[in-house]
Structure 1
């Protein structure tokens, strides 16, 4: 039997990687998509390595993005659907967006011809501006990045923690990101709830999230991913809290039916000096808050961009778990600086007079790794 194949590309976006498909190359019947994505990524793999596919054995490397011309009323250039895939399981999850892979959508749209480089709007700095409609959340993101002729530029001077080297700067502006799935920044109406005896702030911004204090779980807030996985009960306890949060936020009818992707769950703590896997030290005076996020059951090696946005929003909500560990003022007036397992990231957030988040801006890099055909059985 011959292998199946479809045109595809493979991109790094921020601290994630994904297989990229143009929507018109996929079957019109979306019921057929799941088997294609699972076969291409190499899931389910009981060994957890995805050696028979394009995945990398962890959640941040087990992803698919679908991009096509947009018909959205906002006038967006492209529609973008994000798909999270289980590693050991056959789960195919369309419930959330991935902020890191969002950084690759504009460059892919230009490079693949979904958007014509000659007609794309330009910023004041002469960079391309691609407006993205994320179908998972219904939200709009403006991606601004330099071009190299008729392609997205690859070379640049921006370094992001968690990725070696430098690349072209990509600015992502998430417009009105609050209420991505529930329609409310605080779905329960409370800045803080109690779940399993632990204080938890349930915030919907970019993606629904649940933030708890690391100290309430009896762990150091600077614990690194390998230690989190080795901990005897930390991950199961966090997932139990996350599933209860799903019901409280109206995302699922019961804990068993909660999506693996949302809500995201993360531990937060006050800035503390520590070392990251690269051996570098994190100066506690250089960050506003420390976060350890879980993505599809696994400790995230950095921080999901949507989680970073939700933290920025929660930092301004008096009585929230995030606000409680903040200092008197941000270390950088341009935004909130978050310490994560690979370093730090700053989220530029603009709030209105009532404290609502109007938009959030982050800077990422992305790169085309390959294109051609992807094969699956």
Structure 2
């Protein structure tokens, strides 16, 4: 007599298998790369791999980065829970006659679903040239030791030249340049911002004044590389050397700064009402004198910058460019706290929460910034296929 074991199907197991199958089927993927640029990180896409209609990009970017995340950690994506790590860059064929590639930047909210195309990211610009070379969007001479990629930032319409060393036909990773806020050293990347004034408003001084008043606080609004508004820390009753955590925990400070920022955005013509002002522009910074700051030795002024409502651990490059311009405008809130004799004749040295940065600048007779140079580093972290639900 033979016995036979009958295996009955487990409805729970079947359900899990079907759910798993549906889950795998619902996964989306695209070729992508992940780069550190300066003190930021971003996911990079080739423009040709994305939908032709830019209005379809937002859900892709949110899925890839992991936004919105009510926990603020973006664990289900490649974001890092702070504004400087919640970014996407798109690079493609140039549409500008003076450029080799187009570069579009997107800033994503961490806890909200905002996908903001209204500003540029100067730190991530440092990775655009290397990505273009590595991805084959820029023809590299394999015999050459360096490359110059002319970048058209579509967010602002401005041109940036990126010069960087090559190794075996790709962007070099190893080098001796250290930048404050990033551990170790890497290959230097020279960024030349050509005529950066009027990036969004068409004017260096969008309000027509060197100084305005918002909420009873004096402020200087400047549009260089990105629209920015600068207030003196002492006018807010705080120290100019607060750490990012101290800024966040100071009662009412973030709300007060955002109120000033939104009013400045309206005055600069970026929106019709404070509620409509984008999260990423204008950026706002609190400035103070290096003479009264323990961390201000060897710098011309000190800044604590905010972006998308969060204090930055290092000054964004576009904010540094705007500061370098405002420092040369007599009567501005920035000029009032800037050393009269620069510590480095090559430009303006700015102290920030992680160290300092030198902005090499060429100014015209009207005090406008004609040409600005900064050095950064960048590195490819991975490339392949990225998945999102």
Superposed, 1:119-158 pairs within 5 Å as 126-158=145-177
The answer as to 2:249 corresponding to 1:230 is: yes
Q: Which residue of structure 2 aligns with residue 321 of structure 1?
A: 333
| C-alpha deviation, 1:243, in angstroms | 0.2
Rounded to whole Å, the distance in 2 between the matches of 1:298 and 1:71 is 33
Q: Secondary structure at the match of 1:332?
A: coil
Q: In the alignment, which of 341, 352, 355 is matched to residue 340 of structure 1?
A: 352
CA contact under 8 A between 2:41 and 2:85: conserved in structure 1? yes
1:98 Cα shift?
A: 0.1
Please state which structure has a larger fraction of its residues in helix. Answer: 2
* RMSD of aligned Cα (Å): 1.2
Output the CA distance in 2 between the equivalents of 1:341 and 1:287: 12
Q: Distance in 2 between matches of 1:131 and 1:177?
A: 14
Q: Tell me, what secondary structure is at the counterpart of 1:189?
A: coil
CA deviations over 1:187-215 (Å, ceiling 9, x no partner): 11111011110000000000000000001
Map residues 173-322 of structure 1 onto 2, 5 A cutoff: 173-272=192-291, 282=295, 284-322=296-334
TM-score of the pair, normalised by structure 1: 0.95
**Residues in 1 aligned to 2:245 and 2:195: alpha-carbon distance in whole angstroms:** 35
Could you tell me which residue of structure 2 aligns to residue 55 of structure 1? 79
Distance 1:207 1:114 in 2: 26
Q: Cα distance, 1:338 vs. partner? A: 0.3
Distance 1:203 1:30 in 2: 29
User: 1:70: which partner in 2?
Assistant: 94
Shift of 1:31: 1.5
Count of equivalent residues: 365
TM-superposed CA distance for 1:32, in Å, is 1.1
* Shift, 1:315, TM fit: 0.5
Q: How far apart are residue 272 of structure 1 and its match?
A: 4.7
Partner of 1:278: none
Residue in structure 1 matched with residue 134 of structure 2 by the alignment = 111
- Could you say what secondary structure the match of 1:188 adopts? coil
* 1:145 counterpart SS class: strand
Deviation at 1:333, TM superposition (A): 0.2
Kindly indicate whether the alpha-carbon contact (under 8 Å) linking 1:95 and 1:136 is maintained by their aligned counterparts in 2: yes
- The structure with the larger Rg is 2
CA deviation digits over 1:327-363, x for unaligned, max 9?
A: 2211000010000000000000101223221111000
Runs of 4+ in 1 over 2 A off after TM superposition: 272-275
The match for 2:182 is 163
Structure 2 spans left out of the alignment, 5+ residues: 1-21
| Match of residue 88 from structure 1 | 111
Q: Distance in 2 between matches of 1:6 and 1:346?
A: 38
Is the Cα–Cα contact under 8 Å of residues 222 and 272 in structure 1 kept in the other structure? no
Q: Point out where structure 1 has 5 or more consecutive residues left out of the alignment.
A: 276-281
Paired with 1:370 and 1:350, the residues of 2 have a C-alpha distance of: 37
Does structure 2 retain, via aligned residues, the 8 Å contact 1:247–1:255?
A: yes
CA–CA separation in structure 2 for the residues paired with 1:78 and 1:93: 21
- What SS class does the counterpart of residue 191 from structure 1 fall into? coil
CA distance in 1, matches of 2:293, 2:195: 34
Q: CA deviation at 1:273?
A: 6.8
Please tell me whether the aligned partners of residues 201 and 212 of structure 1 are also in contact (alpha carbons under 8 angstroms).
Answer: yes
CA distance in 2, matches of 1:267, 1:153: 36
CA contact (8 A) 2:123 2:316 kept: yes
Please give the alpha-carbon distance, in whole angstroms, between the structure 2 residues aligned to 1:162 and 1:117.
Answer: 30
2:121 is matched with which residue?
98
Secondary structure of the structure 1 residue equivalent to 2:76: coil
